[in-house]
Chains A and B, each alone.
Chain A
Amino acid sequence: MSVTTAPAGRGAMKPQATGPRLYHPTVARLTYRALLGRRRALLLFLLPLLLLVIVSAVRALAGADDTTANDVLQGFALSAMVPLVGVIAGTGAIGPEIDDGAIVYLLAKPIRRSTIIFTKLLVAVGVTMAFSAIPTLLAGYILNGNGQNIAVAFAIGAAVASIAYAAIFLLLGVLTRHAVVVGLVYALVWEGVVGNVVPGARTLSVQQWALAVAQKLAHGDVVSSNVGLTTSIVLLAAVTAAATWFAGRKLRSLKLAGDE
């Protein structure tokens, strides 16, 4: 090995002066490649595929029907697929890096922790939207050809839910090593069962907030939500902002303990 470097403290390697920014393209690239390169990314493809298979079968058996379209998009796409994709993308955007210690290479840089979190959030939101909102749109078209604007309404509902889910699950990825398990329990038990059955819990369900958006966009009264549109939008924004802020704060004091 030879050292070709000049003595320490020379000026040639002065980094570019950069002001505080919220997005870092290198963090985004690493996150995106890590997210889609891991085995669990297979699930990202399987879930939408399953939705498309189901809706194709439903369409073939039941024909085009608005109520059926609503039932399937709400019952599977919005209440199961979107949160599950959110769990995979949200926790996967940071959890594995914290678990295996590779996050050191991001943290030991002159980059604000909030920039790291916000960039990872953007990637998680993008991936969740791509693997949930787009398949939902396609599924809606297959089910009833976007009758009553249902396909577009649910796709936008799924996109809105993607933002909140990505933020919640990203936070979980920072908070706990068992983010996937906790995320699954939340997605399936709270959003899937409690949010659908227990009246009070419905107000605190991302799914219901997304439904309120879909209800506004769909024609007629096929789609219905238990929560008002304004409340839903305020809660969606509040949850997303709070989760992101808290994740940034936790990352700032994340302790990377050694093996001792």
Chain B
Amino acid sequence: MTTISIDNVSRWFGNVVAVNDITMTIGPGVTGLLGPNGAGKSTLINMMAGFLAPSNGSVTLDGEAIWRNEQAYRQIGIVPERESMYDFLTAREFVVANAELHGLPDPQAAAQRALATVEMEYAQDRRIETYSKGMRQRAKMASALVHEPSVLLLDEPFNGMDPRQRLQLMDLLRRMGAAGRTVLFSSHILEEVEQLAHHIEVVVAGRHAASGDFRKIRRLMTDRPHRYLVRSSDDRRLASALIAHASTAAIELDLREDALRIQAVDFAGFTEFLPRIARDHGIRLFTVSPSDESLESVFSYLVTA
């Protein structure tokens, strides 16, 4: 059982605060670190991986500091986001080298096991520079697994993978989590995290926005106020009918756009209610478009929730 503890951690680069007073604990099982691009996910993972010192606070592995502690790598396996490896090596040479660097007693056998785990034996004697993105990802995985670490850190592991490779990697990570390892992966795609992680940590603009199982996060996301832009055959009449309903919080008549801007509080209620009320009043709907569905707006709502 290995636990990574992040206690009141901040990290700034000059005047830019990348991580702002975050406290979280990553325990056994699969945890998803979710947030938009530039939220500070990589900075957090780099601190957990011992590649970056926290400006404030502490990052520990079972109570031991990770920064400047090479021995921590006996327990940590890292799959970096960057593509570069020793491309002039074959995957087998690369994974064997990683096993040797870990000081394993039988590097060849350990490498063979790791390559079998990621199903890369068929291409293990080809140079890495000839690999596709998905194959590279699996070679990286093999190198991270070669010493059978109790903690696995993956930075955006699904980027650029095709659906089949994605499912394979998800399956592998799920099994590793079930086997009691502490698996943490970052992603900016909610569906990805939802499919895999039993626990989600959401980071937005360097701050810890939410934490919990995916149902809780999903509910937070769908229950937020939604904004819509609506155009109809009679905007004023539609507005007066809508405002009477509890699912609507505010309506603005946008004369320039010749449309209604509606803020709904109950997502499910509003989407059922709007077409019904239009039909009942004989109003035709021309446009119904959500105006804040971008992931960033969803995330920024979470920060203030």
Tell me the residues in window 170-224 of chain A with beta carbons closer than 8 Å to chain B beta carbons. none
Cβ–Cβ contact A15 & B119, under 8 A: no
Cβ–Cβ contact A256 & B100, under 8 A: no
Write out the residue numbers on chain A whose beta carbons fall within 8 Å of the beta carbon of B28.
8
Cα separation A259 to B2 with both chains bound (whole Å): 28
Write out the residue numbers on chain A whose beta carbons fall within 8 Å of the beta carbon of B247.
none
Q: A15-B147, A258-B155 are in contact. Are A100 and B42 (CB under 8 A)?
A: no
Tell me the residues in window 27-61 of chain B with beta carbons closer than 8 Å to chain A beta carbons. 28, 37-43, 45-46, 49-53
Cα separation A253 to B147 with both chains bound (whole Å): 24
Write out the residue numbers on chain B whose beta carbons fall within 8 Å of the beta carbon of A6.
148, 179
Tell me the residues in window 11-48 of chain A with beta carbons closer than 8 Å to chain B beta carbons. 13-16, 18, 24-27, 29-30, 33-34, 37
Closest to B148 in A: A13
Cβ–Cβ contact B88 & A108, under 8 A: no
Cβ–Cβ contact B86 & A260, under 8 A: no
Write out the residue numbers on chain A whose beta carbons fall within 8 Å of the beta carbon of B39.
260
Write out the residue numbers on chain A whose beta carbons fall within 8 Å of the beta carbon of B169.
1
Cα separation A196 to B138 with both chains bound (whole Å): 54
Interface centre among B103, B119, B155, B172 (most CB of A within 10 A): B103
A4 shortest CB reach to chain B, Å? 6
Cβ–Cβ contact A5 & B148, under 8 A: yes
Q: A15-B105, A255-B51 are in contact. Are A34 and B88 (CB under 8 A)?
A: yes
A101 shortest CB reach to chain B, Å? 4
Q: A100-B84, A109-B98, A260-B42 are in contact. List 9 more A-B contacts (CB 8 A).
A: A1-B117, A5-B179, A15-B102, A15-B147, A104-B82, A108-B50, A255-B53, A257-B43, A259-B82
Tell me the residues in window 49-92 of chain B with beta carbons closer than 8 Å to chain A beta carbons. 49-53, 68, 70-71, 73-74, 76, 78, 80-82, 84-86, 88-89
**24 A-B pairs with C-beta separation under 8 A:** A1-B117, A3-B175, A4-B113, A5-B148, A8-B148, A8-B181, A9-B1, A13-B147, A15-B102, A18-B103, A25-B100, A104-B82, A105-B98, A105-B101, A108-B73, A108-B76, A256-B52, A257-B46, A258-B45, A258-B46, A259-B42, A259-B81, A260-B38, A260-B42
Closest to A101 in B: B82
Pick the residue among B13, B46, B149 that contacts A256 (CB under 8 A).
Answer: B46
The answer to whether B110 has its CB under 8 Å from any CB of chain A is yes
Q: A1-B171, A3-B175, A30-B86 are in contact. Are A255 and B52 (CB under 8 A)?
A: yes
Q: Which 4 A-B pairs have the closest CB atoms?
A: A258-B42, A100-B84, A101-B82, A256-B51
Pick the residue among A9, A13, A104 that contacts B78 (CB under 8 A).
Answer: A104
A residues near B (Cβ < 8 Å) are 1-10, 13-16, 18, 24-27, 29-30, 33-34, 37, 100-102, 104-113, 252-253, 255-260
Write out the residue numbers on chain B whose beta carbons fall within 8 Å of the beta carbon of A252.
68
Number of A-B contacts (CB under 8 A): 145
Cα separation A186 to B260 with both chains bound (whole Å): 68
Pick the residue among B49, B119, B179 that contacts A108 (CB under 8 A).
Answer: B49
The answer to whether B116 has its CB under 8 Å from any CB of chain A is yes
Q: How many B residues touch the partner, as a band? A: 35 or more
Cα separation A101 to B140 with both chains bound (whole Å): 13
Interface centre among A3, A26, A255, A258 (most CB of B within 10 A): A258
The answer to whether B180 has its CB under 8 Å from any CB of chain A is yes
Closest to B18 in A: A260
Cα separation A18 to B100 with both chains bound (whole Å): 12
A22 shortest CB reach to chain B, Å? 15
Write out the residue numbers on chain B whose beta carbons fall within 8 Å of the beta carbon of A257.
13, 43, 46, 52
Cα separation A105 to B85 with both chains bound (whole Å): 8
Write out the residue numbers on chain A whose beta carbons fall within 8 Å of the beta carbon of B124.
none
Closest to B182 in A: A8
Cβ–Cβ contact A100 & B172, under 8 A: no
Cβ–Cβ contact B86 & A5, under 8 A: no
